[in-house]
Amino acid sequence: MNTLTIPTPDDWHLHLRDGEMLKGVIGHSAAHFARAIIMPNLVPPVVTGADAAAYRDRIRVALPQGASFEPLMTLYLTETTDPDDVEAAANSGLIKALKLYPAGATTNSDSGVRDFDKVVPVLERMAQIGLPLCVHGEVTNSDIDIFDREAVFIETVLDPLRRRVPGLRAVMEHVTTADGVEYVKANDTDLAATITTHHLIINRNHILAGGIRPHYYCLPVAKRETHRLALRAAATSGDARFFLGTDSAPHPTDLKENACGCAGCYTSVNTMSLLAHVFEEDGALDRLKNFASLNGPKFYGLPVNQSQMTLVKSDQPISFPTGFETGAGHVTVFDPGFDVFWHPQ
Ligand code: NCD
Ligand code: ZN
């Protein structure tokens, strides 16, 4: 099989940033994806419907001419988020989810939630109106090992929260562990997970063995190989509860290659090529459409894209740029460490 045609994919977890960085990266997502869930962790964060409308307009202005790309906006859940503002923004079609960052969990998460009691009224309203909560599922306690933070979050935060707010629809974003996969599979309704491209490819050895590789550092941090294999199995299974969220997160190269390097991998350029490679390797090319094009819209209650993408397999390896310049600095592109032959036509 040398060509594969699927409904145009969507990216259900994307960081576009703002200003010059936004201008520098938006074209990559618009080239391959019809829609994306846009993360709200700007500085300051996108917290109100008015913030989201203004950010959506800046994204639209930054789009290359003629591009058809729909930003699906989210609000950053804070302890002072107003349920009425959330409902109005959801009813108008402006926002498609709220994002929960435990305070301090990752890049620009200082405004996140410390006291979960304070956000229960918003979560209850979301359950009533069917608005999903996108969850960064890591605890932030300094006494919890970074490799255990997802599993501990499920047990101590997510599961109790879901019991407390029945009917709350939640997406475990960028799930990185077999524990996360199992938790999603054990729950029939109201729960799904996004999986990134890079977590299907790297494990923690890629980051740390034989020298530290900052461009493989992201949060949640890649775990051991058994977890990567669990993610591969979930993504390639076709199970409707798992779908693509690249978590492509641009940082200037000098802030990645730094004594305290930022977390985030940039995969918007080569995600579809890498996914075709991964799915072919696992004998699941026919299920790439489920992961990248069908399962996300189904969970979010949106139509599948009418347009199509055709991926073609070349005889020769595809060459991607190792990085690119933006008005906010150079960005390094995720390097899978192997040759890929698939590319969107
Ligand atoms: C993201 C970023 O840079 O905004 N970084 C990352 O490592 N994934 C934040 C996030 O999604 O955790
Ligand atoms: Zn992210």
Classify domain 3-344 at the CATH superfamily level.
Answer: Metal-dependent hydrolases (3.20.20.140)
Q: What is the mean pLDDT of residues 72-95?
A: 98
Residue 104: predicted pLDDT? 83
Ligand 1 binding residues, C-beta < 6 A: 15, 41, 106-107, 136, 218-219, 247, 249, 263-264
∠ CA 28-229-148, nearest 5°, is 90
Is the pLDDT at 248 greater than 90? The verdict is: yes
Classified as helix, coil or strand, 335 is: coil
Give the mutation target among 18, 21, 174, 219 for probing the ligand 1 site: most ligand atoms within 8 A of CB. 219
Share of the chain above pLDDT 90, in %: 94
Contact criterion met (CB below 8 Å) for 36 and 12: yes
The pair of structure tokens assigned to 226 is 């058994």
Is the pLDDT at 198 greater than 90? The verdict is: yes
Residue 70: predicted pLDDT? 98
Tell me the pLDDT band of 111, cut-offs 50, 70 and 90: confident
Residue 278: predicted pLDDT? 98
Domain parsing of the chain, residue ranges: 3-344
pLDDT tens for 253-265 read 999 999 999 999 9
Chain position carrying tokens 């913030």? 51
Tell me the pLDDT band of 189, cut-offs 50, 70 and 90: confident
**Looking at the DSSP assignment, which residues form a beta bridge with residue 312?**
3, 343
Residue 110: predicted pLDDT? 79
pTM: 0.97
Q: Which ligand is nearest to the CA of 199?
A: 1
Gap between the Cα atoms of 168 and 126, Å rounded: 7
Closest ligand 1 atom to residue 15 Cα is 4
Contact criterion met (CB below 8 Å) for 71 and 16: yes
Give the mutation target among 11, 22, 25, 41 for probing the ligand 1 site: most ligand atoms within 8 A of CB. 41
Gap between the Cα atoms of 192 and 181, Å rounded: 9
Q: What is the mean pLDDT of residues 17-22?
A: 98
Of 35, 94, 33, 30, the residue nearest 65 (C-alpha) = 30
Measured in angstroms, how far is the CA atom of residue 4 from the centroid of ligand 1?
31
Closest ligand 1 atom to residue 136 Cα is 12
Residue 188: predicted pLDDT? 76
Q: What is the mean pLDDT of residues 169-176?
A: 98
